[in-house]
């Protein structure tokens, strides 16, 4: 939501089109992406990156630069195949812990304590950990 709000305020020439509902599942994500790509450019914050690559190929559209989120097994493979240029990766366990602690602090169940921020790494085919 923050990214969409930033785009609306700083890049008015771009249209934000929500094609959510694929739930990171390749078949349903592929269908939604193919429909959206017929008329629009794409930025995805969802899973199912293999389906996105396949949808571009199915429509004969070149995928100039594809940047994804989270270094899972699918994205690791896409990096190795050079189908994805980069992945923004962070520690989901730390992020989930921070959310939980913020909820506890809000309800005054947990005393306020400094929370360690999740470190974001940019992973490319050239620095992909083995």
User: Can you say whether the dihedral through the CA atoms of 125, 94, 25, 7 is positive or negative?
Assistant: negative
Q: Is residue 125 part of a domain?
A: no
pLDDT at 75 over 90: yes
Does 41 reside within a domain? yes
| 129 occurs within a structural domain | no
pLDDT tens-digit series, residues 21-40: 766 777 887 888 788 777 76
Q: Nearest-CA neighbor of 82 among 53, 55, 107, 120?
A: 53
Would you state the pLDDT for residue 44? 65
Q: How far apart are the first and last CA of the chain?
A: 33
Q: Under a CB-based contact definition with an 8 Å cutoff, are residues 46 and 25 in contact?
A: no
pTM score: 0.66
The residue assigned the tokens 């994500």 is: 29
Residue 105 lies in a domain: no
Residue 76 is assigned to a structural domain of this protein: no
- Residue 74: band (very low, low, confident or very high) from pLDDT cuts 50, 70, 90: very high
Q: Which domain holds residue 47?
A: 1-64
Of 65, 64, 72, the C-alpha closest to 48 is: 72
């Amino acid at each position: 939501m923050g990214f969409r709000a930033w785009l609306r305020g700083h890049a008015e020439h771009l249209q934000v089109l929500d094609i959510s509902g694929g739930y990171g599942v390749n078949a349903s994500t592929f269908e939604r992406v193919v429909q959206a790509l017929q008329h629009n450019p794409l930025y995805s914050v969802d899973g199912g990156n293999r389906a996105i690559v396949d949808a571009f190929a199915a429509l004969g559209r070149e995928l100039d630069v594809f940047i994804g989120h989270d270094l899972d097994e699918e994205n690791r493979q896409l990096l190795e195949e050079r189908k994805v240029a980069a992945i923004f990766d962070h520690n989901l366990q730390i992020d989930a812990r921070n959310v939980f602690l913020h909820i506890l602090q809000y309800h005054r169940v947990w005393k306020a304590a400094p929370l360690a921020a999740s470190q974001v790494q940019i992973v490319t085919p050239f620095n992909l950990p083995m």
